[in-house]
Amino acid sequence: MGSVVDTSLLPPPFVVRDTQGAEVEPATGYLRELALSDFSPLTCRSYAFNFTAMVPAVVGSADGLATGDRGRDRGIGGLASLGQESQRQRQRQRQRQRQRQRQRSDPDAPPAGSLNPKTGKSALQAGYAPSTINHALSVVSGFYQFHARHGRGPVRNPVPVSAEPRRAMAHRSPSETPAKFGRARLRVPAPLPRSIPDGLWDDLFAALDCDRDRALLECFVSSGARTAEFLGLVPEDLDWADQRIWVI
């Protein structure tokens, strides 16, 4: 699959090496372009890991990246199968097998994709998340755009940008279903607001032994105001007569 190496030198801050330890020059050129474009080093690191973990067939050889030979086709096929497997939640048999392996490694591990009732964070899914696949597709698309601008590699981008940006930004009726213009992109579900069950709320409220803290917590939760609005409160914003708080 290759590896990502921290250079700690001039751009790029991270480089991709193949299984033989040789640096993948086409990937290095793209990562250098990101670093010189004022991208965060963590962004370059994320892109580098996407090359090795998400599309190993594409970054398997520097020649395949530069010329766009059959290695590129295998990489795109791997992306398509990866998206298809995640979209269909894998096959049921493989999903049950992974679940059993997860339970054997950690009997107390939560089920895949379940929510933590205290933190509101979800556990890792059985397969790749849609956002992970979309990010990998964006990396591949930007990689081929970069080399196409410099006259290297295939002219045709396997994950092209939509040719109808105006149509994508055009006004539409709220009753119409929004059209999808990203090739092979998966729909990312909207995250649910974080919350805790009523039982945990009662335990938290009972753990406060000061009436002041209880009043503050009750005001924070029941009002629905933002944190910045509470931090900016001054005595003039308190309406003691009507028991109201003025926020901007």
pLDDT tens, position by position, 179-206: 665 556 777 777 777 777 888 888 888 9
Taking only the tens place, the pLDDT of each residue in 2-36 is 788 888 777 888 888 887 888 888 888 889 899 88
**Cβ-contact 53, 78 below 8 angstroms:** no
Is residue 150 over pLDDT 60? yes
Q: Which of 80, 70, 30, 47 is nearest to 154 (CA)?
A: 70
Residue 17's DSSP bridge partners are: 3, 23
* Averaged pLDDT, 111-128: 74
In angstroms, the CA 68 to CA 153 distance is 5
What lies within 8 Å, CB to CB, of 221 at 6+ separation is 201
pLDDT of residue 77: 46
Residue 210 CB coordination number (10 Å): 8
The model's confidence at residue 207, banded by pLDDT at 50, 70 and 90, is: very high
Cα separation, 189 vs 196, whole angstroms: 20
Tokens for 126?
A: 């059985």
Place of tokens 């049921």: 92
Spatial contact of 37 and 5, defined as CB atoms under 8 Å apart: no
Q: Does residue 142 register a pLDDT over 80?
A: yes
- Which pTM does this prediction carry? 0.59
Name the residue among 54, 59, 49, 47 with its Cα closest to residue 19.
59
